[in-house]
Structure formats: structure tokens, C-alpha cells
A and B are shown apart, each in its own frame.
Chain A
């Protein structure tokens, strides 16, 4: 059973990394990009003010998420009838570092607020920089390195550099987009060009640090190719690499665009900023995946539970789906009660789940093909494809949790207190939201173009959440073999979301390629679901 504590811990850690990017990354942006430009123009002053505001919010975010993480652990450790072990918890290193991070986050927020109110000074910038570095470096105490018996010092140093590199890169992109919303007047073109020119080397250096330290950490935590392909840690690492490559593709296009801009002396094209938005989205997803990685045991520690490469390959060999389901009575007779998390899953449960995935695949494949048809311009009626989401939602609502209402003995509200049932029902609610918003947009019922961004945001957010959903089972190998098929689904959902986002942002004909990317990702999503195999069902 996927457990709520693990999911909350991963999501909070992901938010904490995003907040760190806004604060520590913002400090680097302010000092190295905005600082040298001086405060001569009104735009430069407003840009610095906005950056400081984001730094304040980011610092408060780090403190708040750290506080929630500190609360989560004693909550999860306590027995139902016993008080939280707060005193013991506060005596351990993790809690003390957490308290230091809360205080540092709040202190940074106050220091940035004072800087904003009283104007820049060397002392205030020194304070802000020191606190930002403290937040970045102390992240290493929350990483795998902290728990290692050997090489702990060097691993923590590498981890601190890795996290600071990520914060400066992703945070810098966030602040660059914030700057773009300020830059409107043609007279400010030279300043915009200067900001872009100064940001390029900062992004290169931070990505270099990120990739270099990431490679070193990967070589330590993933000892062999089997470890990379046959463990959850290895697969999530590959996911990070794929998302990073996609973000760097957009970044690379921007890098060369900025060089041409400097040469030609023209105003920055809107495309440059829209690519940056896509990069921000992929960067934030990367932070969530990085948080998910912290909840998985490093590949080198997983020995007996490693899947072989042939077992992994068997997951992706297409097989005609049977499209047959066990009878509900047979399933209820063999399956353990809903709340028994120790029970082994029975063959009927695997077959039930496979059928669910296959039918969901038919729905998604049909939507992807119809979306492709609509894009081709030859079939206007195909614009109603989002309505198929409603059929998918109804199917999943009935079939997701067969031991709960309406098929099983557990009542609707009784089963609602179980985290996985609740998550499934929330997912159904989100699918209904997807259907209603996107259909209303495409059929002209929601006329404001802003509503059209709901679909890509929900897709990208849902994909990111799927990547954090670690399918925690008691058997690590079974957990991994389930995860390996869900991970590409998450990546494709993220590509669907950000592809559609870029299609909406870019003018024709430049939006054709992202349009093909998102519709193609949906088709692939459907195909993957259609060929899905449960770990217990593979011979």
C-alpha cells in the first residue's frame, strides 16, 4: 500500500527544494545578474525589488516546509495511544539541523526584508549571502549522505554543492521569468539583453556544478549497470537525466538565441522567455524527482531485491492485452481485507489491476489520436476528445478499489480514511476537472485564454506527482517492477503538460513541434497503459 507519510515527506522535501531555489538561487541572481547592472534605471530597481520579494517568500517557504517535515516525523513515529516522542526527537541531529534551517530561513526573510526597505549595503548583502549559503549547505544533512557509514564527509560536501547548483540554476530561471513580467517597454531592451547575457554564464556554471557533482554521487550510489536498470533508485536517476536533458534542450536553444541577440543588438524575442517558462516547469519537476530519490534506498544497498535486465525488458515487450477481468466475487473471496497492509496480493488482484490499466490505456490512446486528428485540422468534431476523460473517471471510480464502495463491502466514507483509496478518489476528481476545463476551452464555453492553461498545468502536476508516488510495497523488487512502468507514464505526462504549455505560448508555426510533442506523448501514454503488466502477472 502506498503510504501517506512517505508521499507527504517526498512532496514536502520537493517544495523545500523549490523554496530553496527561490531564496538561495535568488541571491545568486541578484548578486551576479542584477547587481553589476546597477540601480540606475527604474526597471533595474523594480527587478531587484521583485527578486528580494521572491527571496523573502522562498526563505519563509524553506522555514515552513522544514517545520512541517519536523512535525511529520514524530507524528509518524508515535503509536496511536502514545504521545508524540517530541523530547527524544528534538535531541537527534536531523531535528537540530531542521531547527537551524527554520531559524536561518526566518532570519534570511527578515534580512532580505530589511534590505528591501533600507536599500542595499555591503553588510546587508553579506548577511543575506551567508544565510542563503547556510540554507544551501545544510540541505546535505537531509540527504542520503547523512546516513552513510563510510565517506560521509565527502558525500555531504558533494551533496551540498549539488543542491546549491540546482538551486542557483532553477532559482535563476524562476527569477528570470519574474524579470520578464516586469520588462515590457521597448526602451528597456538594453537592460533585458544585459540580464540575459549575464544569466547565461551563471546558468552554465550552475548546471556544470550540478552535473559534475551529480555524476560523482551517482557513481557512488549506483555501483553497476544492473543497479542503474534494476532498482528504483537507478530508474529515478535515469528519470532525472531525461528531464534534465529536456530542460537543457530548451536552455541550449536559449543560450544560442542570447548569443545571436548580443551580436545583432535586437530586442529579446518572446520565444526566449516562453522557452524559459518550459525550462522552469521541467526544473521544478526535477526538484520533485530529486526529493523522491531521497526516499529510495541507494542502488548499491539493494542486493537481493534487484531486478535483472531481462525482467525489466519483459515489462516493455508489447503484448496483446487480454481485456478480461476476474469476477468481482472471485476477487473478494481471495483478497485480504482492505486495510491489511501486510497481506500478499493474489493473482486475481493482479489481473484486476492489469485490466484497469488496459481499459484506461484505450481511453488515453483514443484521446491522444483524436487530439492528433484535431491538430491536423481535418476533423473539427474531434475537439470534443476531452469528454472521454469523463468515461475514464467513471471507470476508475468504480474499479480502482474493488474492496470498497460501490463493488466491495467497505462503505464509501469508511474506505475514505485509507490513504490509497483517498488518493485514487482525488485522482478521479482531478480527471473530471481535466475533462471539464479542457472540453469547455475547446468547445468555446470558457472564452478566456487563461483557462486553457489548466489542462497543461494539471497534466504536468499530475505527472510530477506520479513520479513521487513510489509504490511502496513490502517487497522491494515487486515495488520496483511496478514503478518501472509508472515512471515513463509520469515522464510522458510531464512532457504532455509542458508541450501543450509551449504550444499555447508560441505563435504559429513555431508551436507545431511542441503540439506534436504533447499529442504524441498522449498516444505513447495510452500505448504504455495498454501494454501494462503487473509484476505478479508476469511469468
Chain B
């Protein structure tokens, strides 16, 4: 079949996609089934650590969480505890001031899917 022009245009468009776009991970597959603090929770005391339990094994060396504080600045967080259960991301926290926090996570599940998500929690004054 002489579809040269059609396939040429399609190939060009696909190349443009790859050149222009950065691959954002899909927020599917590995999902948080339990977390501490929970999404939207208002805590009376600042937590010492964050625990995320997923529905799948995750690769901890390539999974991470980031926390943005009330001022909008990201707080430095260590890597997840390596000895935690295979489906858990556990991250120690620095002392948190009262305010609203945004937690973002990006994990690689054991079957090779990069997924991400985010939720907010607050520390009461």
C-alpha cells in the first residue's frame, strides 16, 4: 500500500511528541491504600514520620516523597527507610511548624510503572 505521505506525517508527529514533551509519571497503578498522616488530616501535633502503604511492592531506592511547607518552600527529606515492608514508603520528618503541608510522592512499582500522587495535611497551631 502506497501510504508513504500518511506514515511520514504520523512519524513526524510522533517524533515531535518525543522531542517536546517530558514524560510525567502516570498517577495510576501503584496507589496509596493507607497513609499516616491521612489525606486532608489536621494533626494536633507535628508527626515524626510519614508512612505511605501502597497496593504493590515498590522499589525504595527509586521512590521518594517531597514535602512543601506553609511558606511554599520544599523541606529536605531523607530517603525511605530501607528496612520497611516492601509496600511501604517511610520517611522521617524534620520538626514541622503549624500550617498546611503538601506531600508529593513518586514511586516505581516492582513491575516497572512510575506513578505519582499528592495530598495535603495540616498541623494545627
Q: Decide if A183 is an interface residue (CB 8 Å cutoff).
A: no
Q: Decide if B76 is an interface residue (CB 8 Å cutoff).
A: no
B24–chain A nearest beta-carbon distance, Å: 4
In the assembled complex, the Cα of A92 lies from the Cα of B28 at a distance in Å of: 21
Q: For residue B33, which residues in chain A have a CB less than 8 angstroms away from its CB?
A: 301, 303
Q: Do B20 and A422 have beta carbons less than 8 Å apart?
A: yes
Q: Do A302 and B31 have beta carbons less than 8 Å apart?
A: yes
* Count of residues in B whose CB is under 8 Å from the partner chain: 40
Q: Do A422 and B17 have beta carbons less than 8 Å apart?
A: yes
Q: For residue A296, which residues in chain B have a CB less than 8 angstroms away from its CB?
A: 28-29
Q: Do B29 and A143 have beta carbons less than 8 Å apart?
A: no
Q: Decide if A511 is an interface residue (CB 8 Å cutoff).
A: no
Q: Decide if A417 is an interface residue (CB 8 Å cutoff).
A: yes
Binary CB contact string for chain A from 121 to 142 against chain B (1 if under 8 A, 0 otherwise): 0000000000000000000011
Chain A minimum-CB-distance residue to B106: A77
B48–chain A nearest beta-carbon distance, Å: 26
Q: Decide if A25 is an interface residue (CB 8 Å cutoff).
A: no
Q: For residue A295, which residues in chain B have a CB less than 8 angstroms away from its CB?
A: 26, 28-29, 113
Q: Could you tell me the dominant secondary structure of chain B's interface residues?
A: loop
Q: For residue A5, which residues in chain B have a CB less than 8 angstroms away from its CB?
A: 23-26, 114
Give the residue of A1, A143, A232, A437 whose beta carbon is less than 8 angstroms from that of B111: A143
Q: Do B62 and A85 have beta carbons less than 8 Å apart?
A: yes
Q: For residue A253, which residues in chain B have a CB less than 8 angstroms away from its CB?
A: none
Q: For residue B23, which residues in chain A have a CB less than 8 angstroms away from its CB?
A: 3-5, 8, 72, 75-76
Q: Decide if A366 is an interface residue (CB 8 Å cutoff).
A: no
In the assembled complex, the Cα of A476 lies from the Cα of B11 at a distance in Å of: 33
In the assembled complex, the Cα of A454 lies from the Cα of B2 at a distance in Å of: 10
Q: Decide if A220 is an interface residue (CB 8 Å cutoff).
A: no
Q: For residue B3, which residues in chain A have a CB less than 8 angstroms away from its CB?
A: 450, 454
From B3, B29, B109, residue with most partner A Cβ within 10 Å: B29
Given A142-B111, A342-B118: A148 touches B28 (CB 8 Å cut-off): no
Q: Do B13 and A294 have beta carbons less than 8 Å apart?
A: no
Binary CB contact string for chain B from 14 to 27 against chain A (1 if under 8 A, 0 otherwise): 00110011111111
B79–chain A nearest beta-carbon distance, Å: 10
Binary CB contact string for chain B from 93 to 124 against chain A (1 if under 8 A, 0 otherwise): 00000000000001011111110011000000
Q: Do B28 and A448 have beta carbons less than 8 Å apart?
A: no
- Surface stretch bound by B, among A109-117, A239-247, A466-474: A466-474
B110–chain A nearest beta-carbon distance, Å: 4
Q: Do B55 and A6 have beta carbons less than 8 Å apart?
A: no
Chain A minimum-CB-distance residue to B14: A426
Could you tell me which B residues sit within 8 Å of A by CB distance?
1-3, 6, 9, 13, 16-17, 20-31, 33, 55-59, 61-62, 86-87, 106, 108-114, 117-118
Additional A-B contact list (20), CB under 8 Å, known A4-B23, A146-B110, A295-B29: A3-B23, A5-B24, A5-B26, A6-B26, A9-B113, A73-B108, A77-B25, A94-B108, A147-B30, A294-B111, A297-B29, A298-B55, A301-B31, A301-B55, A419-B21, A422-B17, A423-B17, A429-B13, A450-B1, A454-B3
Interchain residue pairs with CB less than 8 A apart (21): A1-B24, A3-B27, A76-B23, A77-B25, A77-B62, A77-B106, A93-B110, A143-B111, A148-B56, A149-B57, A149-B86, A294-B111, A295-B113, A297-B55, A341-B24, A419-B21, A422-B21, A423-B17, A454-B6, A474-B27, A476-B28
